[in-house]
Structure 1
Amino acid sequence: MPDRNLIKILRTTSDDPNFRALVKFLDQDLARRDGKDHAFFAQYNNLDTIRHAVVAYDNELPGAIKEYDKYTMEVKRMYTLPESRGKGIASLILSELEEWATELSYSRCILETGIRQPEAIRLYEKNSYQLIPNYGQYKEVASSRCFEKHPGL
């Protein structure tokens, strides 16, 4: 894992222009991977409601959390540029989001990713996320995988 002191992690919102620029790369990647299913998933990825976003400045990587219920934050918009993968930076972003959720008194983080994103699935499993039944709008979506973690416990 990279030295956290060498990478600047900025807590921000989805209004941050760097966050928005990186999310455009994410959306392009997801459109390619999801194919005909992309419109379904895209409707749940609105940036207007994200008040808790993180950008890591080494290779500028985004991630965000938003309230799912009064106990739970949902991890959203995680993306790592292909040339930055495998360096542990995404784990740092995830850790920062979990820490922030804990500071805000949330006891659980959940997330959804797709079966066409094996790198993401490996990232979440490596960071102690447990597979759970699909929730909410993903409940009947065969290509979705949902995970949870209770940070700080």
Structure 2
Amino acid sequence: MLKLIRTNSENKDFINLVKKLDDYLTIVDGDEHDFYNQYNNIDVLKHVVIAYSNNSAVGCGAFKAFNTNTVEIKRMYTNTENRGEGIASKILKELEIWSNELGYNYCVLETGIRQVEAVQFYKKNDYTIIPNFEPYKNVENSLCFKKDLI
């Protein structure tokens, strides 16, 4: 049984999942990892969702304010052994509901072109590609997405 909890970036399970995400991204992003990493500080994340299966943290995601009516989805991750179970979609949906409850109307996010699974995942969840926003405007590996919550 999957259980979703709302928390913040001080949650130890979130911190551990983000370490796994960063290990993965260090490999995928290669030389560009340091550039991306500077925009992924979890201290600013006050809205975090963690998925638990059998009391074990298996996935996470977060959002932060992007502007007055938009949030940016951050730090989406599912353990390798739990992928394909629909966990990430449930986390993302919970983040969308939570942000909408707080009065936000849109979600934006950035992912890397080389993260093929992530690109397919966001398209499957009704996110559309938009022009890259700052600080990713001229970054060839970046792909930005947006979803209307209203």
- Interval containing the TM-score (normalised by the shorter chain): over 0.9
Map 1:1-153 onto structure 2 (within 5 A).
6-58=1-53, 59-151=57-149, 153=150
Distance in 1 (CA, whole Å) between partners of 2:77 and 2:143 is 16
Task: Determine helix, strand or coil for the equivalent of 1:60.
Answer: strand
Distance in 2 (CA, whole Å) between partners of 1:87 and 1:107 is 28
Give the structure with the higher percent strand.
2
Distance in 2 (CA, whole Å) between partners of 1:104 and 1:20 is 24
Shift of 1:85: 1.1
Distance in 2 (CA, whole Å) between partners of 1:32 and 1:57 is 26
Shift of 1:82: 1.3
Shift of 1:86: 1.2
1:14-51: per-residue Cα shift (whole Å, max 9, x none)? 00000000000000000000000000000000011100
Distance in 2 (CA, whole Å) between partners of 1:143 and 1:90 is 22
Contact 2:58/2:82 (<8 A) preserved: no
Name stretches of at least 5 consecutive residues in structure 1 with no aligned partner: 1-5
% identity of equivalent residues: 50
Which TM-score applies when normalising by structure 1?
0.94
Name stretches of at least 5 consecutive residues in structure 2 with no aligned partner: none
Between the two proteins, the alignment pairs up a number of residues equal to 147
1:56-112: per-residue Cα shift (whole Å, max 9, x none)? 001520100000111100000001111111111100000000000100000000000
Q: After the TM superposition, which parts of structure 1 deviate over 2 Å for at least 4 consecutive aligned residues?
A: none
Which of 122-131 and 51-60 deviates more? 51-60
Task: Determine helix, strand or coil for the equivalent of 2:43.
Answer: coil
Report the equivalent of 1:3. none
**1:9 alignment partner AA:** L
Which TM-score applies when normalising by structure 2?
0.96
